[in-house]
DNA sequence: ATACAATTCATACTTTAGTATGAGTGTTTT
DNA sequence: AAAACACTCATACTAAAGTATGAATTGTAT
């Protein structure tokens, strides 16, 4: 196919040779991109860094975000309380506020939403 | 630069024209791959596919794995029950069995463990 | 100084999650 | 056929999660 194209360029003359070469370059440039995307990077997903601006925009305080991370790691309120040296009551308050700010009904949903918002790592 | 290359091909004559075009194709093919890799996929991490063998090894049934996915998406037992057209009681049974098989104390922990085991997507 | 936000905690309450147990119905395996 | 398994469901219970309300403390901005 490549040789047919080059033969065709000989027939049409030198006038549009630059355009043909440029066309080939563009085609293979695109092929290179798509090959790389579909073959070599078949098993990748984009992972952006944590969006600190979005955390602020949501009105999440430093402590609330800290609690959110622990929730996402699978800890119970009591376990988080012990880890952060506060009462379970305090964690409950934080979690409640987190749910409101993330518009979630449950902590599991909060985790999902937080990840979609790129507030939490995967 | 592109036009200089094409001019060069005119000077050298028609003999190696195919090779020059092929060379250009290869060059831009590689450029396409590298551009795609370095610029567009700067923020990517490898994500393995779901390890179905591991699911089996854990003894998770098809239905249990189905429930696990819904749990991870942030749904409540009742919501999962409605989605799968079974009773909440059934979902509770499934979740309980999932926790035992994943050695988790809570559903949030089960989600974490499942992701570490590459049983769930991120 | 005072208004404000963040953090802490408690108490009381409702809801959801999770456990234990037993059991019925299919399907597959031996 | 009988055993084994997967799926279903119920009831009753305990534990954890989540809500509502009020309040004290501390640091910070005005």
* Cα(B122)–Cα(B105) distance, integer angstroms: 21
Give the model's confidence band at A21: pLDDT under 50 very low, under 70 low, under 90 confident, else very high.
Answer: low
Q: How far is CA A91 from the centre of its chain?
A: 28
Give the model's confidence band at B3: pLDDT under 50 very low, under 70 low, under 90 confident, else very high.
Answer: very low
Position A58 pLDDT exceeds 50: yes
Residue keyed to tokens 């779901």: B50
Structure tokens at A49: 């860094």
Contacts of B2 (CB under 8 A, 6+ apart): A18, A21, A22, A25
Query: pTM to 2 decimals?
Result: 0.74
Nearest CA-CA distance, residue B56 and chain A, Å: 22
Give the model's confidence band at B47: pLDDT under 50 very low, under 70 low, under 90 confident, else very high.
Answer: low
Say if CB B67 and CB B94 are below 8 A apart.
yes
Q: What is the model's pLDDT at position B37? A: 59
Residue–nucleotide distance: A118 CA to D2 C1' (Å): 55
Mean of the pLDDT values across residues A61-79? Answer: 98
Q: Does the CB of B101 fall within 7 Å of any strand D atom?
A: no
pLDDT digits (tens, 9 = 90+) for B94-117: 999 999 999 999 999 999 999 999
* Cα(A67)–Cα(B69) distance, integer angstroms: 24
Instruction: Find the nucleotide nearest A94 (Cα to C1′).
Output: C7
Residues of B32-69 as b/e, b for ≥16 C-beta within 10 angstroms? bbebbbeeeeeeeeeeeeeeeeebeebebeeebbebbb
Instruction: Find the nucleotide nearest B105 (Cα to C1′).
Output: C18
* Cα(A93)–Cα(A104) distance, integer angstroms: 15
Q: Does the CB of A92 fall within 7 Å of any strand D atom?
A: yes
- Identify the residue with better confidence: A36 or A67: A67
Structure tokens at B17: 């024209």
Position B87 pLDDT exceeds 90: yes
Position A101 pLDDT exceeds 70: yes
Mean of the pLDDT values across residues B65-77? Answer: 98
Q: What is the model's pLDDT at position B39? A: 59
* Cα(A78)–Cα(A90) distance, integer angstroms: 10
Q: What is the model's pLDDT at position A111? A: 98
Say if CB B64 and CB B55 are below 8 A apart.
no
Beta-bridged to residue A45, according to DSSP, are B45
Q: What is the model's pLDDT at position B12? A: 52
Position A43 pLDDT exceeds 70: no
Q: What is the model's pLDDT at position B40? A: 57
Q: Does the CB of B64 fall within 7 Å of any strand D atom?
A: yes
Percent over 70 (pLDDT), chain B? 64
Contacts of B110 (CB under 8 A, 6+ apart): A74, B68, B71, B98, B99, B102, B104
Say if CB B41 and CB A53 are below 8 A apart.
no
Mean of the pLDDT values across residues B80-100? Answer: 98
Closest to A26 (Cα-Cα) out of B7, B24, B8, B37: B24
Give the model's confidence band at A3: pLDDT under 50 very low, under 70 low, under 90 confident, else very high.
Answer: very low
Alpha helices in B1-122 (DSSP H): 2-12, 17-35, 52-57, 62-72, 77-84, 88-102, 107-116
Position A20 pLDDT exceeds 80: no
Percent over 90 (pLDDT), chain B? 57
* Cα(B111)–Cα(B116) distance, integer angstroms: 9
**What is the average pLDDT score of chain B?**
81
């Amino acid at each position: 196919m490549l040789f047919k194209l080059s033969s065709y360029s000989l027939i049409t003359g030198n006038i549009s040779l630059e355009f043909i070469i440029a066309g080939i370059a563009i085609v293979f440039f695109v092929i290179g991109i798509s090959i790389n995307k579909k073959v070599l990077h078949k098993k990748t997903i984009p992972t952006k860094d944590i969006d600190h601006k979005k955390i602020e925009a949501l009105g999440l305080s430093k402590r609330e975000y800290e609690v959110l991370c622990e929730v996402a790691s699978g800890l119970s309120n009591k376990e988080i309380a012990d880890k952060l040296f506060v009462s379970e009551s305090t964690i409950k308050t934080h979690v409640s506020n987190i749910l409101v700010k993330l518009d979630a009904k449950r902590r599991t949903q909060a985790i999902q939403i937080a990840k979609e918002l790129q507030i939490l790592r995967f």
